[in-house]
Amino acid sequence: MLRRFALLFPLLLAGCAVYEAPKLPTDQLATLSFEQKPSGLFATGSVALAKIDGKAPSGSTWILRHRSPISVAPGKHTIELSYVVGIANGIMSLWFVAEPGTAYVVRGDSAGYTFRLWIAEERTGRPVGGIVGSSDEPV
């Protein structure tokens, strides 16, 4: 059994696409970070990246969630996020159009059994993008 797993493991890894930061000068990149609210017995919420443009961030697994800021190229991106509140969690997909030199942050909020996530310019707090599949999503 262990031998079969050893043979299949490289194939499983090869099938997982990993997001790599673009190789552009820093001033041509945008930064995307994820809000982390103080944790405790009943944490109020933390956002983690599951996928960006269909690829998992490096070092991310279903247990070790990706919370570090990432660099993105200018243009449209889709991100799959998870949001954890206490012992409950949910997944949401958002889109945004990154501008060079701009820092963005994914924020989260919850009330009762619902939650919402949104992307904002870090400096101004202005919301950008929207939910994947929304009528205002660019092609």
Q: Give the H/E segment covering residue 130.
A: strand 130-131
Residue 12 has pLDDT above 60, yes or no: no
Q: List the chain domain ranges.
A: 18-131
Residue 111 has pLDDT above 50, yes or no: yes
pLDDT of residue 80: 94
pLDDT of residue 8: 45
Q: What is the CA radius of gyration of the chain?
A: 17
Reading across the β-sheet that carries 127-128, which strands appear in turn?
Answer: 70-72, 30-34, 103-111, 114-121, 127-128
- 94 Cα distance to chain centroid: 9
Provide the pLDDT confidence category of residue 39 given band limits of 50, 70 and 90. low
Report pTM: 0.80
pLDDT of residue 10: 44
Between residues 84 and 136, which one has the greater pLDDT? 136
φ, ψ of residue 36 to 5 degrees: the values are -125, 110
pLDDT of residue 1: 52
3-state SS string over 35-98?
Answer: CECCCCCCCCCEEEEEEECCEEECCCCCCCCECCCEEECCEEEEEEEEEEECCEEEEEEEEEEE
pLDDT of residue 21: 82
